[in-house]
Amino acid sequence: MDLLSFLLVQCLNALSQAALLFFLGVGLTLIFGIMRIVNFAHGTFYMLGAFLGYSAVRVTGSFWAGLVLGPLVAGGIGAAFEMGLLRRLYKRDDSAFLMVTFGLTLVLGEIIRLVWGVDALQVQVPDSLSGIVFLLDEPFPVYRLFLVAAGAIVAVGIWQFLERTRLGLLIRATSQNAEMVHALGVDVNLVRSGIFGIGCGLAALGGVLAAPLLSASLGMAGNAIIDAFVIVIIGGMGSFPGSLLAAILVAFVQVFGTYYFPDFAMAAMYLLMLLVLVVRPGGLLGKEA
């Protein structure tokens, strides 16, 4: 394998890894940026997506059905949770949100265990995306290319949604001045529930997409929430471009680092996070100085 093809393969590897990390981080940062809630259950929704993806394939035979079903169900549960419980906590301080969403983590996690059992479940890569392609004479899994594409599509999609659509504008306005938006006749509560639902849905989308690579297991949630949070810390809490940048940065450091030091992956993330905290406590693209 010559240098060029090696670099190409590793870069694509990193990009596919970045896509997964991005899906994890973006939902968390959106919810925080707009509602100032840290959704501790974020990792559990990610796990839910993976299991739902598994079931969708089992029941309908279609991976694509899972891609739609997972986020919808997770989003629905998230929105319902916000409406039912979180809404009452806006007057209290931030730690209440953290703890209630932690409670949700336990409850939801246990429900998942009851429904799907304790074993890790394999999810098949759909036929249309299985197999390998040859890039510069090196084999590369099609699915990973798909992940890179999916990541790019979702990133652009969210960006356009926030910048160009009316709902996106409402969301951005609500994050800056909810009272004003309310005075303009918009049901702010509905916007908030919607955002929380979208955040959870994005987490689940990440889970569905990750499942063929990682398989769906109960241990996913714990790692996921930490990964998500590290991305958000590095990128800046509440910054959408920040989470994208952080995902790419972490993925590249991990992929190229692991090549030289096998156990480097986790350490790489923590070291990067430490560096950012010391140099720019608000995150790379965060709002604080």
Partner 1 sequence: MRIFVCVALLLAMAPLGLPLFAMTLLTEALILGLLAMSLDLMVGYTRLISFGHAAAYGLGAYASGYLLLHTSLPLPFAVLAASVLAGVVAIGVAWVCTLAKGVSFSMLTLAFAQLLYAVAFKWTSVTGASDGLAGIPRTAGPFGVTVFQTKNGYYYFVLVCLLGAYLFCRSLVASPFGAVLRGIRENEAKTLSLGYNTRLYKIAVVAVSFALGGLAGALYSPFAGFANTELVFWLFSGQVLIMVIVGGQGTLIGPILGAAFFMLLEHVLSQYTESWALFFGLIFIGFVMFAPQGIWGLLTRRARA
Among 1, 80, 99, 167, binds partner 1 (CB under 8 A): 99
CB neighbourhood size of 135 (10 A): 13
Q: Do 32 and 238 touch, CB atoms closer than 8 A?
A: yes
Alpha-carbon span 219 to 113, nearest angstrom: 11
- From 73, 273, 284, 285, residue interacting with partner 1 (rule: CB under 8 A): 273
d(CA 16, CA 128): 18
**Choice from 66, 109, 199, 212 touching partner 1 (CB under 8 A):** 109
Q: How far is the CB of 74 from partner 1 (least distance, A)?
A: 17
In this complex, which beta carbon is closest to partner 1, that of residue 3 or of residue 114? 114
Candidate segments 180-188, 196-204, 208-216, 267-275, binder of partner 1 by CB under 8 A: 267-275
The residue within the footprint of partner 1, chosen from 170, 233, 246, 247 (CB under 8 A), is: 233
CB 217 within 8 A of CB 43: no
# residues near partner 1 by CB under 8 A: 38
Q: Is 202 one of the binding residues for partner 1 (CB under 8 A)? A: no
Residue 121: phi, psi to the nearest 5? -110, 130
Structure tokens belonging to residue 198: 């979208």
Return the residue of 80, 107, 132, 149 that touches partner 1, per CB under 8 A.
107
CA 136 to the chain's CA centroid: 31
Q: How far is CA 176 from CA 25, 34, 40, 97, 238, in A?
A: 21, 8, 23, 19, 12
Report the distance separating Cα 256 and Cα 262, nearest Å.
Answer: 10
Instruction: By CB under 8 A, name the one of 2, 3, 61, 114 that touches partner 1.
Output: 114
Q: Which stretch binds partner 1 (CB under 8 A): 16-24, 84-92, 167-175, 253-261?
A: 84-92
The reply on whether position 92 binds partner 1 by CB under 8 A is yes
Residue 89 binds to partner 1 (criterion: CB under 8 A): yes
User: Cβ contacts of residue 246 below 8 Å, gap of 6+?
Assistant: 21, 25, 231, 232, 234, 235, 236, 283, 284
Q: Interface with partner 1 includes 271 (CB under 8 A)?
A: no
Question: Rule CB under 8 A: is residue 289 a binding residue for partner 1?
Answer: no
Is 281 a binding residue for partner 1 by CB under 8 A? The answer is yes
**Does 80 sit near partner 1 (CB under 8 A)?**
no
CB 92 within 8 A of CB 22: no
Residues forming the site for partner 1 (CB under 8 A): 38, 85, 88-89, 92, 94-96, 98-100, 102-107, 109-111, 113-114, 222-223, 225-226, 229-230, 233, 237, 263, 266, 270, 273-274, 277-278, 281
